[in-house]
Amino acid sequence: MTRLRIAVLMGGPSPERDVSMATGQEIVAALDPRQYDILPVEITKEGHWLPRPDLTPLTTGNAAPRQRGNATTIERVVSHGSRLPVPVSFEQAVARDHVDVAFIAMHGPYGEDGTVQGLLELLGIPYTGSNVLASALAMDKLRSRQLFEWHRIPVPGYLSVTAPVWRDRDRVHRQVAQELGYPCVVKPNAAGSSIGVSLVREPATLDPAVEAAFAYGPMVLIEEYVSGTEITCGIIDDPITGDPIALPLIEVVPNAEFYNYQAKYATGGSEHIVPARVSAQVAQQAAALAVRAHQALGCEGMSRVDMITRGVDIVVLEVNTIPGMTATSLLPDAAKAAGIKFPELLDRIIRSALRRSRQQSTQSPRSPQSSQSSRST
């Protein structure tokens, strides 16, 4: 088998860059060097592409999450004063003549939302995970929810609020009181890692929560608070058929009032219980719903579907197209429970990327991937 050259893209300007740096570093460490030449690429906050043949020491001075125990903790990376890598153009960083697959280890806007995927499509570089449209839809909680509703996938009650809607905030307050009640959950429409998410217990704290969520984008969702057991279902492709399959369900028990940023990344912030302590019937229904949600958006390669179950009812909160991927993150934990070790999970995600690229080149002769022949152009 020929060795593949894998560019691992990490960082970026999103508020989730620190989590992305952790995901990227773990992927670089876990990819099998006998199969792959690994080309780590950091995208800086400013959008510069930095090839990082040697990921340590990181010299950007950014806070980067480090693995610790069952969760990830944020630590400051110490500069060792070595020479800073020189930025290159993205065409150079992921040029067709030296990269076979781009492993996108980026979370949130400008990474998980279809933008980097579009760039790689234009460059003709196969990339991991979902295509442009599915990535953009999944990042947009309102649009993905509208599709879920069309597919009769249960979601929490919600209102979407834009700046013009928020100008009549008395009306929003009335709607929240009548349609959703308190507590309710306020969140940015397109963010992740619970950044900007608030649990609002009373009308008096609704305004600051909405204002805080607007800091992350022009649309805010206000949702019915669903009290129940938080579960998440990892999805990967079947290696033979390419069909999406659900991994064992994980129950998340946050040591906080909800699964907020601290609960997600601080040491001891939460517990993962695999398999989730739900009935066989709920587990089966949740897995089926997760696959349907993944398919409703047209996701590919991998995803993780966040849900809450209350008795036998299950609601889907969102689909994450690039879930956290440190060795103890939820998707790798679920894969482990299915007997798939982290390096093998990464192999499967890479194989899915290649499968899509092959299909594209047979389906559309004019696509950039169709001219795989010349590396040196």
Ligand X SMILES: Nc1ncnc2c1ncn2[C@@H]1O[C@H](COP(=O)(O)OP(=O)(O)O)[C@@H](O)[C@H]1O
The annotation status of 344 as a binding-site residue, yes or no, is: no
Q: Is 347 one of the binding residues for Mg ion (CB under 5 A)?
A: no
Q: Which is the catalytic residue, given 14, 130, 144, 193?
A: 193
120's tokens: 């790689």
Where in 296-315 is the site for Mg ion (CB under 5 A)?
306
Closest CB to ligand X: residue number: 259
The annotation status of 318 as a binding-site residue, yes or no, is: yes
Q: Which is the catalytic residue, given 14, 144, 270, 329?
A: 329
Which one of ligand X, Mg ion, none is in contact with 346 (Cβ closer than 5 to 8 A by kind)? none
Task: Please tell me what DSSP assigns to residue 127.
Answer: B
Least distance between Mg ion and beta carbon 259 (Å): 7
Three-class DSSP category at 267: coil
Q: Please name every residue paired with 104 in a beta bridge, in sequence order, or none if there are none.
A: 9
Q: Which residues bind ligand X (CB under 6 A)?
A: 156, 185, 187, 191-194, 197, 223-226, 230, 258-259, 306, 308, 317-318
Where in 182-241 is the site for Mg ion (CB under 5 A)?
none
Q: Which amino acid is at 245?
A: I
Closest CB to Mg ion: residue number: 306
Nearer to ligand X, 292 or 351 (CB): 292
Nearer to ligand X, 121 or 140 (CB): 140
Least distance between ligand X and beta carbon 124 (Å): 31
Least distance between ligand X and beta carbon 185 (Å): 4
Residue 193 is a catalytic residue: yes
Which one of Mg ion, ligand X, none is in contact with 7 (Cβ closer than 5 to 8 A by kind)? none
Decide if 179 contacts 159 (C-beta within 8 A): yes
CA distance 73 to 71: 7
Q: Which is the catalytic residue, given 16, 26, 223, 224?
A: 16
Within a 10 A sphere around the Cβ of 42, how many other Cβ atoms?
26
DSSP 64-89: EEEEETTEEEEEEPPP--PPPPPPB-
Task: Please tell me what DSSP assigns to residue 176.
Answer: I
HSE of 65 in the Cβ direction (CA atoms, 13 Å)? 33
Q: Which amino acid is at 37?
A: D
194's tokens: 């619970």
Q: Which residues sit in the known binding site? A: 306, 318, 320
Please list the active-site residues.
16, 193, 329
